[in-house]
């Protein structure tokens, strides 16, 4: 049995017989009995597209049968410690699964609904412009990622076992192809079934998952003592040996709760901007070097891109690019408009969209600190979202502008066809956004137009605003124990706490925090670090 890397032309890349011939040539042997795909990556830097494959091959005999990924936890021991997990997104769910493997009982609390019921709450926001404030594109089983494409590509390979995350997803119904693709994704049509299967695994192994369980308070031993649980909106108290805070970056009421409790938080950078949308065939032509009316070959996926630069000390970059996707309304309250992107597993929409955002540093929101203190970044986001609501004119209608008009500083007379179902209204985004954002976006668009010719052309549409790229706050934790430096028993986790930036990195953080909780509940002696650093603030 050998592992070999080969390069094949596109038309041969899905042919197992071509794999065997290429592997035999590479190894210098007469023939190969069997070849199994381990990794698949498309190289489209030249007009002649090539596919890089990593193969496991059997030279003289067939390969041993591969085992399909499975997940099963041992039975919980009598008297198992209990951890309360606030949030049922990837951080919370993977933390719960890992807790069960380690003999800790998780009680997962989710303010929204299960993924099946949650689907029905998307209709009012799409068709009526009315947000169901605890069940929407951001809140509910699986978190924001459930209906945001399910992109799994991550650069967080040093943070933990990425392969383990993929295998857990496959064990719960995700396509096995995610184990081999260089840029894997599941799709918003398939991911709900995966997260529902994960929930059932948690319950079957002895954990609990409760929906409609909105946390409104913390239970502490003494006024500022260790956390011993949480209080729900219906007055119920949920007690445990530790609390994992895995709420996601849009649970602003949790930040307010922490501020009211005097829990240490610190400002961090985030990014705001717009969704930029183009026809997918345009992106295909540019990225795959197609000519004239040449169509994308059947074996090529909808083309994607990633663009980034730095302008006057601030990052300007594409974010959460959705080939063959849709722009969707991601507001969590009815006085705001927020846009995000998603795509289905087939990625067959005629449009491509991406966040197009500029980094915002804590000093950029200083004007909000006087009234809002540590919550200044949230107030900055909210102000833009309310501006978008006013400029859209009602419901979830978004303010929009052609790219060329944005660059020229003029209002668009009309807008091109788009994927955003609630629709858009022409508005001067260049005036609504802060000048520091607008000027950098203009420079970025001109620069990116040199990388993708026509990117800043008339086919491009900007929709406002993309504000929920990440949390503007970090809930600090000790480096070794992952416990809050001032509140014993509180374990900040995932995107909402400032430690992740996508499904996989959030899942990895959930695994790490679960292991830290097990160490804490297991009576491991830990000395608190006195070297915690960082710019911190309280309300």
Alpha-carbon Rg of the chain, whole angstroms? 24
Same domain? For 386 and 513 the reply is no
Residue 303 clears pLDDT 70, i.e. is over it: yes
Per-residue confidence (pLDDT) for residue 33, from 0 to 100: 96
Assigned token pair, 239 = 């007690």
Same domain? For 407 and 498 the reply is no
Q: Is residue 75 part of a domain?
A: no
Same domain? For 245 and 257 the reply is yes
Average pLDDT, the chain: 94
Q: Is residue 68 part of a domain?
A: no
If one counts the domains in the chain, the total is: 3
Of the candidate ranges 221-225, 429-433, 502-506, the one whose mean pLDDT is the lowest: 221-225
Q: Is residue 250 part of a domain?
A: yes
Q: Is residue 155 part of a domain?
A: yes
The span from the CA of 133 to the CA of 89, in Å, is: 17
CATH number at residue 34: 3.30.1660
Question: What is the band of 224 on the pLDDT scale with cuts at 50, 70, 90?
Answer: confident
Per-residue confidence (pLDDT) for residue 157, from 0 to 100: 67
Residue 525 clears pLDDT 60, i.e. is over it: no
Same domain? For 448 and 299 the reply is yes
Domain boundary among 432, 449, 466: 466
Q: Is residue 105 part of a domain?
A: yes
Same domain? For 308 and 446 the reply is yes
Per-residue confidence (pLDDT) for residue 146, from 0 to 100: 87
Neighbours of 304 (CB within 10 A): 21
Same domain? For 218 and 291 the reply is no
Give residue-wise pLDDT tens across range 201-221.
999 999 999 999 999 999 998
Same domain? For 427 and 462 the reply is yes
Q: Is residue 514 part of a domain?
A: yes
Strand partners, 464: 274
Cβ-Cβ contacts under 8 Å for 280 (sequence gap 6 or more): 302, 303, 323, 324, 349, 350, 351, 352
Task: Look up the domain containing 174 and give its range.
Answer: 82-266+473-521
Furthest-apart CA atoms within the chain: distance in Å: 76
Span 266-294, mean pLDDT? 96
Give residue-wise pLDDT tens across range 122-144.
999 999 999 999 999 999 999 98
Residue 531 clears pLDDT 70, i.e. is over it: no
The span from the CA of 171 to the CA of 179, in Å, is: 11
CATH number at residue 248: 3.50.50.60
The span from the CA of 514 to the CA of 164, in Å, is: 15
Of the candidate ranges 196-205, 222-231, 267-276, 440-449, the one whose mean pLDDT is the lowest: 222-231
The span from the CA of 438 to the CA of 415, in Å, is: 19
Per-residue confidence (pLDDT) for residue 351, from 0 to 100: 98
Under DSSP, the state recorded for 409 is: T
Residue 356 clears pLDDT 90, i.e. is over it: yes
Residue 523 clears pLDDT 60, i.e. is over it: no
Same domain? For 274 and 408 the reply is yes
Give residue-wise pLDDT tens across range 169-198.
999 999 999 999 999 999 989 999 999 999
Q: Is residue 324 part of a domain?
A: yes
Per-residue confidence (pLDDT) for residue 66, from 0 to 100: 85
Residue 349 clears pLDDT 50, i.e. is over it: yes
Same domain? For 122 and 253 the reply is yes
Q: Is residue 235 part of a domain?
A: yes
Same domain? For 141 and 156 the reply is yes
Residue 517 clears pLDDT 50, i.e. is over it: yes
Question: What is the band of 528 on the pLDDT scale with cuts at 50, 70, 90?
Answer: very low
The span from the CA of 330 to the CA of 429, in Å, is: 18
Span 351-358, mean pLDDT? 98
Same domain? For 101 and 138 the reply is yes
Same domain? For 168 and 288 the reply is no
Span 405-410, mean pLDDT? 98
Per-residue confidence (pLDDT) for residue 156, from 0 to 100: 67
Sign of CA dihedral 223, 224, 226, 227: positive
Residue 355 clears pLDDT 50, i.e. is over it: yes
């Amino acid at each position: 049995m050998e592992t070999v890397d080969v390069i094949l032309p596109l038309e041969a890349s899905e042919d197992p017989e071509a794999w065997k011939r290429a592997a035999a040539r590479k190894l210098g042997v007469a023939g190969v009995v069997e070849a199994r795909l381990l990794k698949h990556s498309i190289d489209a830097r030249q007009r002649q597209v090539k596919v890089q494959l990593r193969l496991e091959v059997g030279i003289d005999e067939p390969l041993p049968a591969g085992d399909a990924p499975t997940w099963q936890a041992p039975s919980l021991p009598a008297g198992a410690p209990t951890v309360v997990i606030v949030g049922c997104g990837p951080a919370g769910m993977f933390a719960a699964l890992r807790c069960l493997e380690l003999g800790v009982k998780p009680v997962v609390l989710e303010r929204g609904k299960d993924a099946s019921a949650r689907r029905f709450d998307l209709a009012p926001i799409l068709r009526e412009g009315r947000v169901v404030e605890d069940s929407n594109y951001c809140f509910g089983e699986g978190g924001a990622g459930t209906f945001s494409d399910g992109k799994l590509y991550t650069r967080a390979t040093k943070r933990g076992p990425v392969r383990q995350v993929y295998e857990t997803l496959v064990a719960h119904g995700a396509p096995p192809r995610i184990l081999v693709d260089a840029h894997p994704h599941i799709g918003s049509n398939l991911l709900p079934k995966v997260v529902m299967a994960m929930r059932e695994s948690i319950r079957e192994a002895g954990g609990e998952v409760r929906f409609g369980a909105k946390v409104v308070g913390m239970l502490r031993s003494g006024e500022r003592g260790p956390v011993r649980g949480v209080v729900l909106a219906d007055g119920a108290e949920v007690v445990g040996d530790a609390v994992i805070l895995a709420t996601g970056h849009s649970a602003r009421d949790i930040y307010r709760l922490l501020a009211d409790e005097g829990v240490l938080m610190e400002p961090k950078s985030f990014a705001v901007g717009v969704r930029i949308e183009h026809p997918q065939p345009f992106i295909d032509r540019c990225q795959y070097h197609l000519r004239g009316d040449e169509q994308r070959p059947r074996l090529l996926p909808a083309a994607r891109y990633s663009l980034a630069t730095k302008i006057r000390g601030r990052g300007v970059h594409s974010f959460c690019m959705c080939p063959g996707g849709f722009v969707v309304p991601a507001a969590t309250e009815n006085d705001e408009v927020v846009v995000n992107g998603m795509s289905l597993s087939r990625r067959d929409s005629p449009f491509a969209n991406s966040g197009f955002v500029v980094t915002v540093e804590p000093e950029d929101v200083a004007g909000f600190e006087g009234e809002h203190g540590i919550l200044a970044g949230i107030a900055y986001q909210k102000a833009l979202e309310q501006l978008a609501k006013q400029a859209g004119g009602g419901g979830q209608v978004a303010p929009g502008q052609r790219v060329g008009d944005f660059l020229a500083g003029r209002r668009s007379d009309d807008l091109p066809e788009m994927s955003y179902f609630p629709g858009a209204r022409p508005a001067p985004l260049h005036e609504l956004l802060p000048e520091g954002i607008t000027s950098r976006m203009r420079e970025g668009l001109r620069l990116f137009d040199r990388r993708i010719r026509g990117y800043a052309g008339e086919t491009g549409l900007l929709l406002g605003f993309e504000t929920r790229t990440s949390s503007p706050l970090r809930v600090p934790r000790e480096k070794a124990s992952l416990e809050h430096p001032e509140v014993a028993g509180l374990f900040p986790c995932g995107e909402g706490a400032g430690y992740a930036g996508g499904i996989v990195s959030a899942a990895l953080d959930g695994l790490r925090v679960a292991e830290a909780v097990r160490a804490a509940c297991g009576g491991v002696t830990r000395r608190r670090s006195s070297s915690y650093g960082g710019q911190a603030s309280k309300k």
